[in-house]
Amino acid sequence: MVAVVGVVVWVSRPEPASCGTTPTVGENLTTARIPVAISSSGLAARHSAPPPDPDLPGVARYYAFRQGVACSFPDLPSDGFYVGMSTQEYGTADLCGAYLDVHGPRGDVRVLIADRCPGCAPGQLDLSTAAFAQIAEQSDGVAQVGYTVVRDPDPAPELFYEVKSDSSAQWLAILVSGSGNPIQRVAIRPTTGGGWQELNRGMDNYWTISDAGPGPFSARVVDVYGHQVEVSGISLEPGQRYTGARLYSVEPVTAPSTAVAPTTAAPTTTRAKKTSGRAAVCHS
């Protein structure tokens, strides 16, 4: 995490150099204020997390964003909307790629969870400068906010991945981005077939496995809500590749039709019919 702009100091417990205590397997992060059922292993405690609170109280400050975020996302625009979470909420990169809706005294902003704030306590958000300017006066340096994790942000982003440069048949590391929701698990198998092998997630948000073989591979990506997609043709060649796939789909909201009753002595009332809502489509 980079240096903070302004003279704002969090009053919180110091966190150890080992990145703090993360929740144990099966423990959800309600106690850490982010109600998404995830664990220090990167696996969800259950497929469907409960609906998040509409507005969790918090405090936001801002920092000078730069490349090299804890979630390892590459090529982020310097003027984008990002947030760093406390170590307890960050876990083992559990929330990387998800979004928060942050509500402040000046307005609202949607931010990508891309970084970790070692000096923050749960509920303290480190926003990029551009994001903070959307919800408060920059001269204030700190603002009282409400925030919530967004489920199935619209539009659904395109899934892409990056194979780490030192990957080999003996050790494979892959970064999965564009999930929209927190990722629950990643598994691979040879494209020719075979059993799925689960990957382990590190603090840098890379998923790794030993002795995977020479490839090519198919990968199965599953988020904490049970959405899943399978991507094929993954080789050991390093670099970033877009898949054309999305973990979920969002149905467009149909505007309600309007019917006007005829102006007669015996008017007939026609009720407007409305179709709305969002549906998640699971890919297999």
Looking at the chain, the whole-number percentage of residues with pLDDT higher than 70 is: 69
Is residue 15 in some structural domain?
A: no
Residues 101 and 224 reside in one and the same domain: no
Residues 84 and 208 reside in one and the same domain: no
Final residue of a structural domain among 149, 177, 205? 149
Residues 158 and 82 reside in one and the same domain: no
Residues 140 and 42 reside in one and the same domain: yes
User: What mean pLDDT do residues 267-271 have?
Assistant: 32
Is residue 3 in some structural domain?
A: no
Predicted local distance difference test score (pLDDT) of residue 34: 53
Is residue 116 in some structural domain?
A: yes
Predicted local distance difference test score (pLDDT) of residue 251: 67
The 3-class SS string of 37-93 reads CECCCCCECCCCCCCCCCCEEEEEEEECCCCCCCCCCCCCCCCCCEEEEEHHHHCCC
Final residue of a structural domain among 99, 121, 149? 149
Is residue 106 in some structural domain?
A: yes
Final residue of a structural domain among 97, 118, 149? 149
Is residue 8 in some structural domain?
A: no
Predicted local distance difference test score (pLDDT) of residue 23: 29
CATH number of residue 281's parent domain: 2.60.40.760
Domain span at 81: 29-149
Residues 220 and 141 reside in one and the same domain: no
Residues 274 and 210 reside in one and the same domain: yes
User: What mean pLDDT do residues 172-201 have?
Assistant: 95
Per the DSSP assignment, residues forming a β-bridge with 62 are 127
CATH number of residue 91's parent domain: 2.40.40.10
Residues 108 and 207 reside in one and the same domain: no
Of 16-20, 73-77, 193-197, minimum mean pLDDT range:
16-20
Provide the strand spans (E) within 104-246.
Answer: 108-117, 124-128, 142-149, 160-163, 171-177, 183-190, 197-198, 200-201, 206-210, 217-223, 228-234, 239-242
Predicted local distance difference test score (pLDDT) of residue 45: 32
Is residue 4 in some structural domain?
A: no
When divided into structural domains, the chain yields a total of: 2
pTM: 0.72
Residue 103: pLDDT band (50, 70, 90) is: very high
Residues 68 and 135 reside in one and the same domain: yes
pLDDT, tens only, 49-97: 444 446 889 999 998 888 889 999 988 998 999 999 999 999 999 999 9
Residues 122 and 244 reside in one and the same domain: no
The pairing of strands 108-117 and 124-128 is unpaired
Residues 209 and 108 reside in one and the same domain: no
Residues 139 and 162 reside in one and the same domain: no
Predicted local distance difference test score (pLDDT) of residue 54: 62
pLDDT, tens only, 113-143: 999 999 999 999 999 999 999 999 999 999 9
Residues 48 and 137 reside in one and the same domain: yes
